[in-house]
Amino acid sequence: MLVYEPQTSDLSDWAQPLIHFENVGLRYGMGPEILRDLTFDVPKGSFQFLTGPSGAGKTTLLRLLFMSLQPTRGLIRSFGRDITRIPRAELPMLRRRVGIVFQDFRLLEHLTTYENVALPLRVRGKEEQSYKQDVIELLKWVGLGERINVLPPVLSGGEKQRVAIARALIDRPEILLADEPTGNVDPPMARRLLSLFLELNRLGTAVIIATHDLALMDQVDARRMILTDGRLDIYE
């Protein structure tokens, strides 16, 4: 269904991680350090779960990975660039290489389901005829074939979540970040969404799924990143 085409021309650096964290710390304002001494890589094409108790900092870490927060100390290199040195004007271009599913979905309320999902492609200047069938097919695949032309306010929480997932996947990002992407759906739909993430990963996208859902994690023998008290342990 999805055909992966690398969106970067720098294939020579395939061995470099997509994202590199070194001794990263993060505090909000004058508050305590929420994340401490995080050192890890996100390799190209990797698949990992990010887990830990509520309030441990998973969403905060996803925001750092999405470059919408700056670290208060340490180094983050994303796509080979030090994110503290990237001019603000260049950030949107870099973020287009990242697909993200926010916990609160962030759909545009005045656009239909179809238009929300097509938005990343429209922003990239693609002709509608080149993507229309892909958008419809993906929406059908996530069980929204009957909801293509409705506006977000009439969708259930689980339906909104699937629109947000379809929007994050449709442009075949180099990395997908998903915050509790199965939090509002039943177990069969959670398995279906997981198989979609795995398929995207098989086609080359690195995937990070933040979740509390042990049943979901048990279905895949994947790397686990566990945050506890602001520190990260990784189990390969």
Ligand X SMILES: Nc1ncnc2c1ncn2[C@@H]1O[C@H](COP(=O)(O)OP(=O)(O)OP(=O)(O)O)[C@@H](O)[C@H]1O
Residue 150: what are its φ and ψ, rounded to 5°?
Answer: -100, 160
Binding site for ligand X (CB under 6 A): 28, 31, 34, 52, 54-60
Beta carbon nearer to ligand X, 30 or 93: 30
Sign (positive or negative) of CA dihedral 137, 140, 144, 146 = positive
Beta carbon nearer to ligand X, 46 or 103: 103
Beta carbon nearer to ligand X, 57 or 99: 57
Quote the tokens at residue 227. Answer: 């945050």
Beta carbon nearer to ligand X, 62 or 166: 62
Kindly give the pairing relationship between strand 231-235 and strand 223-228: antiparallel
CB 4 within 8 A of CB 204: yes
CB of 32 to ligand X, least distance (A): 8
SS3 content of the chain, % helix, strand, coil (to 5): 35, 25, 40
CB of 23 to ligand X, least distance (A): 19
CB of 36 to ligand X, least distance (A): 12
Q: In whole angstroms, what separates CA 165 from the centre of its chain?
A: 9
Nearest-10 crossing angle of helices 157-169, 128-141: 140
CB 168 within 8 A of CB 98: no
For residue 112, give the DSSP letter. -
| 3-class state of residue 195 by DSSP | helix
Beta carbon nearer to ligand X, 60 or 116: 60
Beta carbon nearer to ligand X, 163 or 225: 225
Distance CA 179, CA 210 (A): 5
CB of 54 to ligand X, least distance (A): 3
CB of 28 to ligand X, least distance (A): 3
CB of 72 to ligand X, least distance (A): 12
